[in-house]
Amino acid sequence: MQAVNDAVDEVSSLLNKFQECAPDLSDPMSAAAYAADELTDAKEGFVRYFSDEEENFYLSYVDPVVVGRQAFHSTNDFVVGVGVNLRDTACAIVDAALDIILGINKGTTDVSFMDPVVVGRHVFSVVNDTVSGAVGDIRDALCAVVDIVLDVTKGTSAIC
């Protein structure tokens, strides 16, 4: 029960600290110093969470099965998300190309009136949206992994 109370206190102090002294992100040095301080606090919180009353650190308190399971599921979700996005993108490109080619071959698609600038703009827009979506998915997955790692090292989530 004490570990839960310590974790709640750590989270509330972290939130209060962030609200009071959030770094100016336009200055790289202050952002780097803030990140270094937070990593140091996270390390100290991790050591404190797995230490006994006499402040002896015991790594045997860490259950590698639970930590490994969380790491596996996070990695699996990330890889599956990227794979699904790539598959959907490839299928959409192939379907669109085949529809256009079949339409031209059958004579149902007349390309004599098409303006290449308009078509190029549309192709660029579709490619831009697709790449932005893939990058956004990768960013979200990486942020989720970092959040899990920080939660575990700060002691804010139960890993046992």
Number of domains comprising the chain: 2
DSSP structure class, residue 26: T
pLDDT of residue 150: 82
Closest C-alpha to 75, from 152, 156, 144 = 144
Query: Do residues 88 and 157 both lie within one domain?
Result: yes
Query: Do residues 16 and 86 both lie within one domain?
Result: no
- Domain residue limits at 50: 1-61
* pLDDT digits 0-9 by tens, 94-127: 999 999 889 888 888 777 887 888 888 998 999 9
pTM above 0.85, yes or no: no
Per the CB < 8 A criterion, the answer to whether 132 and 141 are in contact is no
* pLDDT digits 0-9 by tens, 53-70: 777 776 666 667 777 788
Query: Do residues 80 and 109 both lie within one domain?
Result: yes
Query: Do residues 43 and 84 both lie within one domain?
Result: no
Query: Do residues 121 and 54 both lie within one domain?
Result: no
